Chains A and B, each alone.
Chain A
Amino acid sequence: MNALSDELRVELSGLCENRAAVYGLLSRLYCREADEILLCDLRNTSFPAKTGNDKVDAGYRKLATYLSGNPENALTELAVDYVNVFFGNGNLTYSAAYPFESVYTSEKRLMMQEARDEVLEAYRNAHMEIDRSWKDPADHVALELLYMQKQSERARDALDNEEFEEALEIFARQRDFFVNHLAAWTPMMTTDMKRIAKTEFYQGLAYLTEGFLQTDRGFLASVISQ
């Protein structure tokens, strides 16, 4: 990456900040069920209405619509739907949108397969370590999104410090992780989510995830080619 003009550098840094924020939001929504603090924060959030991506727009609209509803029932309703979507309520292997890459990329839909080892290696190569409080496998979608969030923040910092080579390396790492992992399986998970989720909240999350990852793929391809 050649040296950028100040204007472009600041714009790119701002974009990385926004990307980190969205990755962080998605990671939190997948990590565990919504609590009172999260719902309160979301109710005070302004969601972009026209981002240029139909799926992102649909996702934000569904989230905003759900959050316009009665707050008293929301916590319980969302807790029930979170379990319904990600844990399922049956013995069939297709009764939930399991948030683990291995389930979608292994032949027998099992957890803790090759994908988990590969993402662990990716985290280590980026000098990241999973906190001991995390009890789920390393290829949980929340962790993979968190990885992208952290990398986006690093890219922002590198740009702020005019470390362009470093920023380019980070974008390349993000692109590789995206292509080898996130893009390979999340469309299948979000398809399942749309089939299973009963609340507009988790329906919206599925659309938002699909649309945002589409947009970010385009961003990474474009910024690296420049």
Chain B
Amino acid sequence: MIDETVHQLSQDLAVVDPSEDNYDPLADISPEEQGLDDSLEAIGYIGNPGKLASKSEVPPALEKSPREKIDALFSNMLPFKRYLLSIMEFCREPRDFVQLDDFVSELQAKRRTIYSTVEFCLMLEDVGALSEITEDGAPYDETRAEPVEVERDGQVFLEPGDPPPLFWQITEAGSQVLKEDDPLKALQKIFEDEAPYKSVFLQILELCGQNGGVSINEIKEKANTNPVLERPRKTVQFFLDYLDRNNAVIWDDNWKISSVGKQALELLRTEVEAEAEAETPVHPKAQAEGETR
């Protein structure tokens, strides 16, 4: 039995002479082996990738509405949403590059970003929030300058022409987004979603409301000790970011409360006081006296 088993195994596992092994795992497979259609013309590449490229199927592009694209941009560029909205607001009137550049420079005076004016404008244009127009309001692309033919010493030369002045203006989709932008409502939603941390938001807003604002170290010192931040462990920076992105606080050499932040503070104070009152246990005698009255 054992001999038979060994004999069978030796048949199954015949030793391969390495010199006879022609297998090369890195070798190119010929088109015939791949079963490709020989009638397709190569376009001059090593290994004819042109054949393979022509067989690939590109799925159709997903069409998104300008509103969807703008929302996606804001979602991807959350720390810069306020800059983008401010630029859109500024472009309610047609603005040329110099005006826009000055505006963006002022926006970034206290907080620089890695993005230039052109980059912000191109982002907004790409998603349909801004459009390029001429002085007359016509779409810019249709009036592109052509090179000028100039003759010198019997030879004709092409010289780049002067492009018409370019302006940027907000589109309808962009105007709709501005109309629906309600930072106070967004803040209220955040306070609801992060209900256990309302006291932290309140503390930060009150600190930022001080004369001259407050530094991050002071916020950390005073608010990080709030017991609600212990489990799960969170830091005040997390909540400050929420307030910053929703325009409740601004950085101006210190963290300062904005007008939206002041409104949010009042609302939050009222809510927190109402909640504290609702939770306060009433003494039975006081309750009875209240009922008698």
Report A's interface with B, CB cutoff 8 A: 42-43, 45-50, 60-61, 64-65, 67-73, 75-77, 94, 104-109, 187-188, 191
Known: A68-B147, A75-B118. A61 touches B45 (CB 8 A): no
Most buried by A among B147, B152, B159: B147
Taking a contact as CB atoms closer than 8 A, the residue among A43, A105, A188 that contacts B160 in the complex is A43
> Could you list some 13 contacts between A and B, CB below 8 A?
A45-B160, A48-B158, A49-B156, A49-B158, A50-B156, A64-B158, A68-B144, A70-B132, A70-B163, A73-B118, A109-B46, A188-B44, A191-B44
Contacts of B166 in A (CB 8 A): 70, 72
Tell me the bound Cα distance from A76 to B97 in angstroms: 14
Q: How many residues of B contact A (CB 8 A)?
A: 34
Known: A94-B49, A107-B46. A49 touches B149 (CB 8 A): yes
Q: Verify B119–A76 contact, CB threshold 8 A.
A: yes
Tell me the bound Cα distance from A47 to B160 in angstroms: 9
Residue of B nearest to A77 (CB): B122
Give A45 Cβ to nearest chain B Cβ, in Å. Answer: 8
Residue of A nearest to B28 (CB): A107
Tell me the bound Cα distance from A67 to B140 in angstroms: 15
Give B57 Cβ to nearest chain A Cβ, in Å. Answer: 14
Tell me the bound Cα distance from A67 to B46 in angstroms: 35
Q: Verify A48–B122 contact, CB threshold 8 A.
A: no
Give B49 Cβ to nearest chain A Cβ, in Å. Answer: 6
- 14 additional contacts, CB 8 Å, given A46-B150, A72-B97, A94-B49? A47-B157, A48-B155, A48-B156, A48-B158, A49-B155, A49-B156, A50-B156, A60-B158, A64-B147, A65-B146, A67-B147, A67-B160, A71-B163, A188-B45
Check B139 for interface membership: any CB of A closer than 8 A: no
Contacts of B146 in A (CB 8 A): 65, 68
Known: A188-B45, A191-B44. A46 touches B158 (CB 8 A): yes
Tell me the bound Cα distance from A65 to B146 in angstroms: 6
Tell me the bound Cα distance from A61 to B162 in angstroms: 15
Q: Verify B122–A68 contact, CB threshold 8 A.
A: no
- Residues 158-172 (chain B) with a chain A CB within 8 angstroms: 158-163, 166
Most buried by A among B53, B121, B156, B163: B163
Residue of A nearest to B45 (CB): A188
